[in-house]
Amino acid sequence: MKRRRDEAAEMEIVWQTPANPPERHDYIFRNGKRHVRPYYFEFISHVKNRWAGKTIVDLFTEEFKGRPYDYYVNAVQSGRIQVDGEMVPVSYIVRSSQKISHFVHRHEPPVLALDVSVLQKEPDVLTICKPASVPVHPCGQYRKNTVVGILQAEHGLAPLFPIHRLDRLVSGLLILARSASKADSFRQQIEAGMVQKQYIAKVTGVFPDDEQVVNVNVNYNAREGRSTVGNCCGNTPLKGKSACTKFTRISTNGTHSIVLCEPITGRTHQIRVHLQYTGHPIANDMLYLSEFSVDRSTKGLSADRAAANSGCSLPSSSPKSCVDEYCDDNSTVDFSIDPMCTNCPNLTPKGYDEDEEGLWLHCIRYCGPDWVYECPHPEWASHD
């Protein structure tokens, strides 16, 4: 352990914060995935009242369970964990509101190596076709591997203000304002119910040929990362928030159907759980296909939960202090291996499902009082 601390101390490290913009060279493309070259990052938090009175090591061990106790001891002793900008002993007792910095070698989960294509660029509005698997903005383990990050790194577009949200696994039209005032204008129209949204989905079975309106509450469970429809028992009120979606079949081949989805409200996973409610879930939606949803949710393997999964463990092999090399389209790319990192020497963080794919759910159209934006249909929307 002392050898690892000495190696870490000798490394020349440049720490990043959210103020450091993503750059084109930050990305590594390998096996159909867009990876982010690991980088050093300062996570900052402030001591909550319930944390006060704990030792710095016990605080991290109990509240951030992704790494083992020995890692946190080592991190405090080497200065990777600091309090109010100062190194402290492992026995240090934290006090409420103190600033805690955790300096880590950050590995972001990969996303599918698809272009973030610009559809329309106006002085105050940008529309893009969002690839599946890419989150819209920084969240969880994702910071550079996001739509906003990629647009800044590869197109020089910043600042950008997303005016609506698409789940990470959903593709299609994304509207971004190029000023805060324009974003506020869009949001006011959305909140006033003046904006209509259209998606298409590929679902199981033959969807009914007449319009289906699902008006059933949606209850999102953040711990499980999935929604359920509300139900009532006797005089018990419906659980969740009111939600309404209109569905219209576009086509079917007898095995799958392409369905137009028009959400009237905007609840988490609303279209996905409402399609499940109709008996025609999205055909590759492992979270809501009834025969898989319970099993995958229990095991924590669903792609939806990967973003929030910060689980890390010590690598099975000894950490390397040299440079690890990977082949990328016949060229060599490398990144430095950090001796204290619990993800190195791998490029992908531990706990990530490498086999995920994008959902067959795609946003095709948003329209307001005096504007319309559209996105081309994806290849899976054809039965040919």
Please give the angle made by the CA atoms of 32, 33 and 37, to the nearest 5 degrees: 140
> What is the CA 331 to chain-centroid distance, rounded?
29
Dihedral through CA 47, CA 20, CA 222, CA 199, nearest 10?
160
In sequence order, the 6+-apart residues with CB closer than 8 A to the CB of 12 are none
| Cα separation, 157 vs 259, whole angstroms | 34
Is there a catalytic annotation at residue 370? no
How much is the CA Rg of the chain, to the nearest whole Å? 23
Tokens 């009120």 belong to residue: 237
Query: Which of helix, strand or coil describes residue 70?
Result: helix
Query: Which of helix, strand or coil describes residue 364?
Result: strand
| Cα separation, 58 vs 64, whole angstroms | 10
Given the residues 167, 324, 328, 353, the one annotated as active site: 167
In sequence order, the 6+-apart residues with CB closer than 8 A to the CB of 22 are 143, 144, 149, 150, 152, 153
| Cα separation, 363 vs 373, whole angstroms | 11
Please give the angle made by the CA atoms of 118, 353 and 322, to the nearest 5 degrees: 90
| Cα separation, 35 vs 367, whole angstroms | 34
Longest Cα pair distance anywhere in the chain, in angstroms?
70
Tokens 């137009």 belong to residue: 260
Query: Which of helix, strand or coil describes residue 258?
Result: strand
| Cα separation, 162 vs 160, whole angstroms | 6
Other C-beta atoms lying within 10 Å of the C-beta of residue 1 = 12
Catalytic center residues: 167
